[in-house]
A and B are shown apart, each in its own frame.
Chain A
Amino acid sequence: MAATTTEKKQLRIATRNCGFIDPESIDDYIALRGYEALAKVLTMTSAEVVDLIKRSGLRGRGGGGFPTGVKWGIALGNQSDQKYMVCNADEGDPGAFMDRAVLEGDPHSVVEAMAIGGYAIGATKGAVYIRAEYPLAIKRLRKALDDARSYGLLGTNIFGSGFDFDIEIKFGAGAFVCGEETALIRSMEGERGEPVSKPPFPAQSGYWRKPTIVNNVETFANVPAIILKGADWFSSIGTATSKGTKVFALAGKIVNVGLIEVPMGTTLREVIFDIGGGCPDGKEFKAVQTGGPSGGALAHKDLDVAIDYESLIARKSMMGSGGMVVMDEDDCMVSVAKFFLDFTMDETCGKCTPCRIGSKRLYEILDKITKGRGTKADLTRMKALCENIKDTALCGLGQTMPNPILSTMDTFANEYTAHVEEKKCPAHVCTAMLTFTIDPGRCTGCTLCTKVCPVECISGTKKQPHTIDTTKCIKCGACYDKCKFDSIIKQ
């Protein structure tokens, strides 16, 4: 295990109870002043609650970063016979598990926050849209809802105030696009998860065409703390435009894989090296992808960025929901872009042409480039297509799909150039452009590689150095994986 700094660089607000309480015990939550925030809120007016959240500076933690208080205020202002408070627990970004940790570790914080939000906007009904791939989170959330109802903390006349509120659970079915709020709402209504154009925004017309607020799990987790400790406390943390903390899921080539929660304004260098422990095996850090399939890659030059919503956008990436995938010298940035496009191509709902067809065309060009058949003209065409899709796609999935490409083309232009002009992959990842040879100085003639070669292109006498016939080699890498003497060179 790597030594982490013992300096207290993390500040746990959203994850304050994760790892400290039994998530299946409402008594554990109440012991830590659970549901007191809700009780306090019911002594205030809805407008006062909205104002408190506005003053705290809390912004949506799902990726959009829209000011939560402002959104709640809009829903409060819209007259309707019914309104809804919805929790987006779909968490579709590959490598992101911040929301799962909160739901599995402290589900009551979300339940209480939803009731607070319901009161603030004038809703008596809430729903959690949770992805079906989170069975333990679903189990613990269900228990939390049952226990809250048993104690009268959900249901009718909560705390004798006359306020009714209850929450139902809706399940996702494996579609990334259902993390987009309008597609999520359609899915809850039993329709195919396809986004609709905004305006009208859900705060005006959402679930069953009623005013609806959709907030992320982490956004909710912050609410009880803000209510009890105050707006001034929360807004004293973070940067001028981004208040509070953010939970990040550190994944990829990093020693201390896991969740961290840091004040906004912490630098990438602190996150990756001080808390994360840097890249393992002495490898050189190359890039960190933030924002998942909607984000971009930040490199060495960006390490001293103070992380907040605006600073990441300024560097052609975005906060996203908090996934941070770290890459080292052995990662090919063109392949990384291709990986994300493979994902978004699978996940496009198909409703709008730019995303449905554009994703496929972008993937095809990237595939061509990684197979050594790309040209400079392809790069120009790909860039133009990216800009076009950003301008014309219907929803956030399509609009941000080109980000990994545009970002890597900008920061790692040399890798793209190497792929199309020299037909070389500098990180030795794109197998089609690699040449596999055997170092006669190290080869012991054990013949293990000969046995695994699917095209039988390795020849030699037993116990004598072998050779690969590069004209027949299909570059599958099976011999490289099998060799115990490090005698196969790929370059």
Chain B
Amino acid sequence: MSIIKSYEDLKAKRQEILSRRTERQNKTIINVSLATCSIAAGGKAALDAMQDEVAQNGLGNVEFMQSGCMTYCFAEPTVEITLPGKAPVVFGNVDETKARELVTEYVMKGEPVEGIIPVNYERVVL
């Protein structure tokens, strides 16, 4: 990792990171919540199931990421899926079966699966 020696360096680094990520806009991003409670509820199993389903179906345009607590403890495991050009959607109670269904129905066909958690917050973006 290169050392950031000044404010200018930091801004340049940020631009570099953002430009490396522009191709993400054309991909499906699957974001699995992996905080302690998410993991306890089966988040890792959901992630494994989806990665397997994606591999089995030979989908090349999917990127996986992990994140922290999505704050929906009542619906763990939670997974947020962003289809190219669409708004992110959070699904709750994602067990192994639902995880696979999310890939085959929502990722592959754009068909929503039940259990969507609506956005009821405003997020401050700096």
Which of A's residues lie within 8 Å of B, judged by CB?
1-2, 4-13, 15-24, 27, 30-33, 35-37, 39-40, 42-43, 97, 100-101, 104-106, 134, 136-137, 140, 147, 150-153, 159-160, 224-225, 228-229, 255-261, 275, 277
CB neighbours of B75 from chain A (8 A): 1
Query: CB-CB < 8 A to B59: which residues of A?
Result: none
Residues of B within 8 A of A42 (CB): 7
A97 CA / B21 CA spacing, docked (Å): 32
Q: How far is the CB of A234 from chain B (nearest CB, A)?
A: 10
How many residues from B make CB contacts under 8 Å with A?
Answer: 47
B95 contacts partner chain A, Cβ-Cβ < 8 Å:
no
Mask: chain B, 77-96; 1 = CB below 8 Å from A; 0 = not = 01010000000000011000
| Given A31-B17, A257-B73, 10 more pairs with CB closer than 8 A | A12-B123, A12-B124, A18-B67, A18-B71, A20-B67, A21-B68, A33-B126, A101-B71, A137-B36, A225-B124
Given contacts A11-B124, A13-B124, A105-B69, contact A35 B119 (CB under 8 A): no
Give bound CA distance, A107 to B93, whole Å. Answer: 26
Using A1-B75, A22-B67 as known contacts, say yes or no to A12 and B126 having CB atoms under 8 A apart.
no
Chain A residues with CB under 8 Å of B18's CB are 31
Interface pair A9/B65, CB less than 8 Å apart:
no
Q: Which of B67, B71, B125 contacts A32 (CB 8 A)?
A: B125
Known: A4-B120, A10-B121, A258-B73. A101 touches B1 (CB 8 A): no
Q: Which residues on B sit within 8 Å (CB–CB) of A228?
A: 126
Residues of B within 8 A of A32 (CB): 125-126
The 3 closest A-B pairs by CB, nearest first: A105-B68, A10-B121, A19-B70
| Interfacial residues, chain B to chain A (CB-CB below 8 A) | 1-7, 9-11, 13-14, 17-18, 21, 31, 33, 35-37, 39, 65-75, 78, 80, 92-93, 115, 117-126
Please indicate the chain A residues that have their CB under 8 angstroms from the CB of B121 in the complex.
Answer: 8-12, 261
- Return chain A residues, CB-CB under 8 Å to B17: 27, 30-31
Q: In the complex, what residues of A have CB within 8 A of residue B33's CB?
A: 19
Say how far A193's CB is from chain B's closest CB, in angstroms: 24
Contact of B1 among A15, A35, A151 (CB under 8 A): A151
Q: Give min CB distance, B82 to chain A, whole Å.
A: 11
Contact B36 A136, beta carbon cutoff 8 Å: yes
- List, sorted by A's number, 15 A–B pairs whose CB atoms are closer than 8 Å: A1-B74, A2-B74, A9-B121, A12-B122, A16-B126, A19-B80, A23-B66, A30-B10, A39-B10, A105-B69, A136-B36, A150-B1, A151-B2, A151-B3, A228-B126
> Nearest Cβ in chain A — how far from B69, in angstroms?
4
User: Given the complex of chains A and B, what is the CA–CA distance between A2 and B73 in angstroms?
Assistant: 13
How distant is the Cα of A151 from the Cα of B4 in the complex, in angstroms? Answer: 6
Enumerate chain B residues within 8 angstroms of A224, measured Cβ to Cβ.
126
Contact residues of A: prevailing secondary structure = loop
For B92, list chain A residues within 8 Å (CB): 1
Bound-state Cα–Cα, A23 to B68, Å: 6
- How far apart sit A12 and B121, CA to CA, in the bound complex (Å)? 7
Given the interface contacts A4-B118, A13-B124, does A19 sit within 8 Å of B71 by beta carbon? yes
Inter-chain contacts of A261 with B (CB < 8 A): 71, 121
Are the CB atoms of B67 and A19 closer together than 8 Å?
yes
Query: A151 CA to B5 CA in the complex, in Å?
Result: 9
Given contacts A32-B125, A152-B4, A256 and B74 within 8 Å (CB-CB) = yes
A116 → B minimal CB distance (Å): 14
> Chain B contacts of A13 at CB under 8 A?
124
Q: List residues of chain A with CB within 8 A of the CB of B126.
A: 16, 32-33, 36-37, 224-225, 228-229
Whether A159 contacts B5 by the Cβ 8 Å rule is yes
- Whether B120 contacts A159 by the Cβ 8 Å rule is no
In the docked arrangement, what's the CA distance between A140 and B68, Å? 10
Q: Which of A8, A36, A260 is in CB contact (< 8 Å) with B119?
A: A8
A6: which B residues are within 8 A, CB to CB? 118-120
Q: Flag if A30 contacts B13 (CB, 8 Å).
A: yes
CB distance from B94 to the nearest CB of A (A): 12
> B123: nearest residue on chain A (CB-CB)?
A12
Does the CB pair B120–A258 fall under 8 Å? no
Which residues of A have CB within 8 Å of B65?
Answer: 22
| A5 and B35 form a contact (CB under 8 A) | no
Which residues does chain A contribute within 8 Å of B119, judged by CB atoms? 6, 8
The contact of A22 among B9, B36, B66, B122, by CB within 8 Å, is B66
B78 nearest CB neighbor, chain A only? A19
Option from A1, A136, A150, A160 in Cβ contact (under 8 Å) with B5: A160
CA distance A160 to B122 in the complex (A): 36
Which of B14, B35, B72, B78 counts the most chain A CB atoms within 10 A? B35
Asked if A8 contacts B93 (CB within 8 A), the reply is no
- Contact, CB under 8 Å: B1 / A104: no
